[in-house]
Chains A and B, each alone.
Chain A
Amino acid sequence: MKTPLGQDRAATEAAGVVTRAEDSQPVIRLIGVEKKLGGQPVLRGVNLEIHRGKVTTIIGKSGSGKSVLLKHIIGLLKPDRGQVLVDGTDITKLGARELNEVRKKFAMLFQGAALFDSLNVSENVAFPLREKTKLKETEIERKVLEMLEAVGLTDMGHKFPAELSGGMRKRAGLARALVMGPEIILFDEPTTGLDPLLARTIHDLIVETQRRFGYTAVMVSHEIPEIFGISDYVAMLLDGVIAEMAPPEQFQRTRNPGVREFINVEPKPEAVSSGVGKESRSL
């Protein structure tokens, strides 16, 4: 797969940067997840598998429940029915303390970055380290600088969130998400509100950091067709269920009319006739 950075993901994996023995294992599994909000059904039995070390993007119409789905994965919302398995543990059954233990594997980049207004960028990035580790202040400062450098905000540590542009806030949020070295990072529409150029930069940054740190990325996005270039798997949430999930090339050849209408591609004759799309999983 070609990425926006112009590098072949397969070649990168062959070099052992992100490939691990358990790559094909699902790290997260959602089984029959149902959720009503304000009496309205939002999720109607979502089945989804997220593979370790891969970038999985969930697409869907506005208000279709993508962010709600993401919040179920990290336990911010509990389903009315169904299971959310993280490394085989059903997090819907966990108490606050056990859930916090599972959450240590996660980080999340929110739509608006959710930086703490009262802290500057460096303090925001250092926050999880100060709260959850016993690292010395010099070590924390070193890690913060390393993360700010990784997202291209080296000289912005002293600025407060209100002084940053939208793109800078997303970068700072990404630095905060990366600082604890999480196994899984959830991205809730990381490019919303950004111009196309800036959106591309953020996508590139996600790909670059995912390669460098090897985390599992779950992204909610509207950015079609850009996400086909950066994802290992694409899933579409339609009418409260995952209507289609497949690697990008197969996803684009789907015969599901609802998915086709959303991604706005015409059916490719060879895909229909040869049945290439059979590998796509309709979950």
Chain B
Amino acid sequence: MVAAAVAGFGRNTLWIVGEMGRMMVFLLSTIAWMVRPPFRLLQVLKQIHFIGVKSLFVIVLTGAFTGMVLGLQGYYSLRKFGAEGLLGSAVALSIIRELGPVLSALMVTGRAGSAMTAEIGIMRITEQIDALDTMAVNPMQYLIAPKVLASVLIMPMLCSIFDIIGIYGGYLVGVELLGVSSGAYTSSIELSVEWKDVYGGFLKAISFGVIVSWVCTYKGYNTTMSAEGLATATTEAVVLSSVLILIWDYFITSVLM
């Protein structure tokens, strides 16, 4: 029984190591195909529209309510110390450094990442990917590279929209609803937010863009040939992307601090 448990542990470990290796090869191959002609600008633009423009509503909605709830929580916490004037600073720093990049990445994972996995998985099951191969069109270059590139390009933009809407959400609750001075709210932002906070957030957004598109396209590309396999791949893609985003967020924050 102990031997069986050890064997099972060993098998799982080997599988995990193997899977990590395959994922890394997939990412490197994607990057290699990204920089080789022909450059598929139209495909990239389509993906920017799909990942970016179509995610706008959910980003604006989550950004607004995140800022509003931060305004609410922040106000009652700061009021205990008579520091309501710092509300703008608390909301802006929380959103720009952490919540903007992380929550927008999680939203994109849920909306666009799962769709990427499903789309590529269906193309795999219905042999559309094999058809590309038979036409001497590399699927990595035609399908995967544009999605990864678009994701990397659009994530900082979505993140900045989340940041702006979130800060304005905090303003609505803090200033318009709870009576914090408008000047105090904005000036505390100006005084506390530094350029490194902004580019740190963008750096996170870019790396989260890589994680979401990489994991989601990998899972779709390597789905097993059944409806159940595709469902599993989609679930795994969303869970793994979300977990990796949070883990990577810790490491990148520790480097940026």
In the complex, per-residue mask of B119-160: 1 if CB is within 8 Å of any chain A CB, else 0: 000110011101101111110000000000000000000000
A100 to B132, CA, bound (A): 11
Q: Report the Cα distance A180→B127, complex, angstroms.
A: 20
- Name the one of B131, B136, B137, B138 contacting A114, with C-beta atoms under 8 angstroms: B131
With a CB–CB cut-off of 8 A, which chain B residues contact A180? 135
Cα distance A103–B133 when bound, in Å?
A: 8
- Would you give the shortest CB distance from A129 to chain B, in whole angstroms? 10
Q: Considering the chains assembled together, what is the distance between the CA atoms of A74 and B136 in angstroms?
A: 10
Q: In the complex, which residues of chain A have a beta carbon less than 8 angstroms from the beta carbon of B136?
A: 100-101, 103-104, 132
B138 & A74 in contact (Cβ 8 Å cutoff): no
Say which residue of B123, B128, B135 sits within 8 Å of A103 (CB atoms): B135
Q: A106, B134: Cβ atoms under 8 Å? A: yes
Please pick, from B122, B127, B135, the residue contacting A111 in the complex, using a CB distance under 8 A.
B127
| Chain A nearest CB, measured from B125 CB (Å) | 9
* Chain B: CB-nearest residue to A105: B136
Q: Report how far A132 CA is from B126 CA in the complex, Å.
A: 23
Instruction: Among A96, A101, A115, A132, point to the contact of B135 (Cβ < 8 A).
Output: A132
Q: Are B134's CB and A74's CB within 8 A?
A: yes
Number of interface residues of B (CB under 8 A): 13
CB < 8 Å neighbour of A117 from B128, B133, B137, B138: B128
A residues less than 8 Å from B131 (CB atoms): 108, 110, 114, 116
Mask, A117-137, CB within 8 Å of B = 1, is: 100000000011001100000
Give residues 69-93 of A contacting B (CB, 8 Å).
Answer: 71, 74, 76
Q: Tell me, in angstroms, the Cα distance from A38 to B44 when the chains sit together.
A: 36
A217 nearest CB across to chain B (Å): 15
B130 pairs with A114, CB closer than 8 A: yes
Question: A122 to nearest B CB, angstroms?
Answer: 16
Closest to B130 in A: A76
Task: Give the distance to chain A from B180, nearest Cβ to Cβ, in Å.
Answer: 50
Alpha-carbon separation in the docked complex, A180 to B135 (Å): 9
Check if B126 sits within 8 Å of A71, measured CB to CB. Answer: no
Minimum Cβ distance to chain B for residue A218 (Å): 13
Q: How far is the CB of B77 from chain A (nearest CB, A)?
A: 50
- Which residue in chain A gives the minimum CB-CB distance to B135? A128
Residues in A whose Cβ lies below 8 Å from that of B126: 112, 114, 117
Q: Is there a chain B Cβ closer than 8 Å to A107's Cβ?
A: yes
**B136: nearest chain-A partner, CB-CB:** A100
Q: CB-CB < 8 A to A186: which residues of B? A: 134
B167 CB → nearest A CB, Å: 38
**Cβ–Cβ contact B127 & A114, under 8 A:** yes
Measured CB to CB, the nearest residue on chain A to B33 is A96
Tell me, in angstroms, the Cα distance from A76 to B123 when the chains sit together.
15
Q: Is the CB of B127 within 8 A of A110?
A: yes
B134 touches A96 (CB 8 A): no
Bound state CA distance, A96 and B140, in angstroms? 12
Q: Please, which residues of chain A bring their CB within 8 A of the CB of B138?
A: 96, 100
In the complex, chain B residues whose CB is within 8 Å of the CB of A127: 135
Within 8 Å CB of B128, what residues of A? Answer: 114-117
B130: which A residues are within 8 A, CB to CB?
71, 76, 108, 110, 114
A169 to chain B, nearest CB (A): 11
A103 & B127 in contact (Cβ 8 Å cutoff): no
Structural contact, A107 and B127, CB atoms closer than 8 A? no
Instruction: Quote the shortest CB–CB distance from A75 to chain B (angstroms).
Output: 8
Chain B residues in the interface with A (C-beta under 8 A) = 122-123, 126-128, 130-131, 133-138
Q: What would 20 A/B residue contacts be, using CB atoms closer than 8 Å?
A: A71-B130, A74-B133, A76-B133, A76-B134, A100-B138, A103-B133, A103-B134, A103-B135, A107-B134, A108-B134, A110-B127, A110-B131, A112-B126, A112-B127, A114-B130, A115-B128, A116-B128, A117-B123, A131-B137, A132-B135
- 15 further contact pairs, Cβ within 8 A, besides A71-B130, A115-B128: A74-B133, A76-B130, A76-B134, A103-B133, A103-B134, A104-B136, A108-B130, A108-B131, A110-B127, A114-B128, A114-B130, A117-B122, A117-B123, A128-B135, A132-B137
7 interchain residue pairs of minimum CB distance? A114-B131, A100-B136, A114-B127, A108-B134, A110-B127, A103-B136, A128-B135
